[in-house]
């Protein structure tokens, strides 16, 4: 059985500035630079793959001394999005990266200071450039006589990432141009058959979690890729008579579990990691993890709200 | 009228690593070092005052090149607490620092890695050494037909710090050896006449906020002192028939205000700064500040949960 801090340490492994590990680790990365600002981190194997592109010199400017990677030409959204697209399409064609086998055909937005769109990028390729991505995670719960119960889905066993793992009630990524609440409403309908009106009127925005996720074997694809993430969190209190059921094929089934059962599954490592983080935050907001019962209370709170230092919309 | 981010920027001004401002600012501080770990930051005027002590060489070892300040001798809790006590008593006698005029005769705990008590220090002196201090902040609220209402106290006009400012329903500092919940129960009784049993059974632990507060004129005393703080947060939902009233002389009166009124007072700068932070966190947890209505949503969330890098209990 793992501690809550173990769950965090397993995946939020990007060190903090002012530590020895940070200097060593940062020295191994390249910086994706846009108009003088770092907007992503690349591991060396990705930089190698850029150098191996036939169109490399057309699109990319790489400085091995400064460890910077830049897109050439006028930094317009259109031009840069196109250059990124050509790059990842080429990689996909040549099967350079396993993560691109999970091609989503969905564009994520990448921002640069002062919060403007820099370019759009195919969702499955965002971790290759270590750019910040956004999602929504919602926990639906019931106040029963026996205490709080949570609606927990199991991901379809054939899902390309984390198949069979437990999840938050509803979760999804923000495609370019989308706002958090609209994504939540859509995903809640698709994943849990929750009526749009119910979600729109009752889902409560309860904060964010932000962290540097480092991809491991469970994520599928290359290991060590950096994935800074921001999850917009929501709570939804439901009456006992509402029963959640899968709508699309992404969910295997739904469970309505008490807090102790959820905590056990969490500590046994059965949740998808970033869903575990959202759940830990839920437990902290609902008086389940407290300063009295959790010795790493302050550390957990800070680790889940890292200031990532990237531009946001 | 200020934005929520303005309220944070005014007082949480300690820069983040990897910024130019950080290097400049850090270069102006001395580090309070305990067994090789930094456990506090001192501004130069405090280091000067240490050097001016008659007993300086007995207790203190200062390295101006490395910018370190250490207590001499065996690092036992008793020996170091005593040396700190002699130091601050001497300063108080000679009226060296205005902040010590607010002497509390209450000891705060300072921890060092791996989370063990390093020494105890008089509460009013903790900001001179820039050590992390702990408190509890609770918001009591009512779900009325007209929406959420919050119980807001006005601090007594003659209170030595932030007299007349608005406050969280209950707030207090953790003295050495105290646990968060017991402080909350005691302060709720003292400040708001709330029965201990009601608070113990119904106050919900909802997380922490952590930040580097930089003292300004409103705090009274010297300006620029660093005050890293961790506040354990609690929510208390009350029935409409419960009426809060001051018990001790620290509170002028209580108001039961709707969210809009509270937000207005907040943005007008009428709240004590760290109570404003706790209230902003409350607004984020309760769907009042949302990704849709607050452009600095992510930044605010991260800024209120900084990983301070100090040992905690």
Task: For B216-253, give the secondary structure using H, E and C.
Answer: CHHHCCCCCCEEEEEEEEEEEECCCCCCCCCCCCCEEE
Sorting pLDDT into bands at 50, 70 and 90, what band is A237?
A: very high
pLDDT tens-digit readout, A198-220:
999 999 999 999 999 999 888 88
User: Contact, A7 vs A298, CB < 8 A?
Assistant: no
Say whether pLDDT at A78 is over 90. yes
Residues 6+ apart with CB under 8 A from B102: B124, B160, B161, B220, B221
Return the DSSP state at B156: P
B286 part of contact set with chain A, CB < 8 Å: yes
Q: Under a CB-based contact definition with an 8 Å cutoff, are residues B283 and B264 in contact?
A: no
Residue A215 confidence (pLDDT): 92
Q: How far apart are CA B62 and CA B72, in angstroms?
A: 10
Helix (H) or strand (E) holding A228: strand A226-238
CATH superfamily membership of A134-303? Nucleoside Triphosphate Pyrophosphohydrolase (3.90.79.10)
C-alpha closest to that of B32 among B95, B99, B126: B126
Please give the CATH number for the structural domain made up of A12-129. 3.30.750.160
Give chain B's radius of gyration (CA, Å).
Answer: 20
Average pLDDT of A8-13? Answer: 91
pLDDT value of position A18: 78
How far apart are alpha carbons A171 and A159 in whole angstroms?
14
- Chain B contact for A306 (CB, 8 A cutoff): yes
Chain B residue nearest residue A203, CA to CA: B287
Confidence of residue A72 (pLDDT cuts 50, 70, 90): very high
Give CA A272 to chain center in angstroms: 11
Task: Write down the residue that tokens 């968060």 correspond to.
Answer: B180
Q: How confident is the model at residue A278 (pLDDT cuts 50, 70, 90)?
A: very high
- Best of A22, A36, A229, A305 to disrupt the B interface (most B CBs within 10 Å) is A305
Chain A: closest CA distance from residue B251 (Å):
27
Q: Assign A151 to helix, strand or coil.
A: strand
Instruction: Please give the CATH architecture assigned to the domain spanning B12-126.
Output: 2-Layer Sandwich (3.30)
User: Which sequence spans correspond to the domains of chain A?
Assistant: 12-129, 134-303
Side-chain-side CA neighbours of residue A290 (13 Å): 15
What is the distance in angstroms between the Cα of A147 and the nearest Cα belonging to chain B? 14
Looking at the predicted complex, does its ipTM rise above 0.90?
yes
Asked if B18's CB is within 8 angstroms of A291's CB, the reply is no
Residues B220, B102 contacting (CB under 8 angstroms): yes
- Residue-by-residue DSSP string for A30-84: EEEEETTEEEEEE-HHHHHHHHT-TTHHHHEEEETTTTEEEE-S---HHHHHHHH
Separation CA B74–CA B86 (nearest Å): 17
Q: What residue of A is the nearest CA neighbor of B306?
A: A302
Each residue's pLDDT, cut to its tens digit, for chain B (313 residues) gives 999 999 999 988 888 887 888 888 888 899 999 999 999 999 999 999 999 999 999 999 999 999 999 999 888 999 999 999 999 999 999 999 999 999 999 999 999 999 999 999 999 999 999 999 999 999 999 999 999 999 999 999 998 789 999 999 999 999 999 999 999 999 999 999 999 999 999 999 999 999 999 998 888 899 999 999 999 999 999 999 999 999 888 899 999 999 999 999 999 999 999 999 999 999 999 999 999 999 999 999 999 999 998 999 8
CATH number of B133-303: 3.90.79.10
Reported as type and span, the H/E element at residue A280 is helix A273-285
Question: Could you tell me the pLDDT band of residue A90, with boundaries at 50, 70 and 90?
Answer: very high
């Amino acid at each position: 059985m793992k501690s809550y801090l173990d769950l965090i340490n397993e995946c939020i492994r990007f060190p903090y500035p002012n530590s020895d590990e940070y200097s060593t680790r940062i020295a191994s990365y390249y910086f994706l630079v846009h108009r003088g600002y770092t907007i992503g981190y690349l591991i060396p194997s990705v930089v190698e793959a850029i150098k191996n592109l036939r169109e490399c010199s057309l699109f990319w400017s790489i400085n091995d001394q400064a460890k910077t990677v830049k897109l050439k030409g006028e930094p317009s959204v259109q031009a840069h999005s196109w250059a990124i697209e050509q790059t990842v399409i080429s990689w996909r064609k040549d099967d350079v990266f396993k993560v691109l086998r999970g091609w989503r055909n969905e564009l994520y937005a990448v921002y640069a200071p002062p919060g403007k769109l820099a370019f759009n990028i195919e969702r499955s390729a965002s971790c290759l450039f270590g750019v910040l991505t956004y999602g929504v995670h919602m926990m639906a719960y019931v106040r029963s006589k026996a205490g709080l119960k949570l609606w927990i889905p199991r991901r379809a066993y054939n899902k390309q990432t984390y198949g069979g793992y437990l999840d938050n009630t509803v979760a999804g990524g923000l495609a370019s141009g989308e706002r958090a609440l609209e994504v939540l409403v859509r995903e809640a309908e698709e994943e849990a058959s929750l009526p749009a009106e119910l979600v729109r009127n009752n889902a409560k925005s309860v904060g964010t979690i932000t962290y540097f996720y480092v991809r491991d074997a469970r994520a599928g694809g290359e290991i060590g890729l950096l994935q800074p993430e921001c999850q917009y969190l929501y709570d939804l209190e439901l009456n006992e008579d509402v029963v959640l059921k899968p709508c699309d094929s992404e969910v295997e089934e739904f469970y309505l579990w008490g807090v102790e059962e959820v905590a056990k599954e969490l500590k046994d490592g059965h949740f998808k990691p970033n869903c575990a983080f959202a759940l830990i935050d839920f437990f902290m907001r609902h008086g389940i993890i407290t300063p009295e019962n959790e010795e790493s209370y302050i550390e957990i709170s800070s680790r889940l709200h890292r200031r990532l230092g990237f531009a946001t919309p």
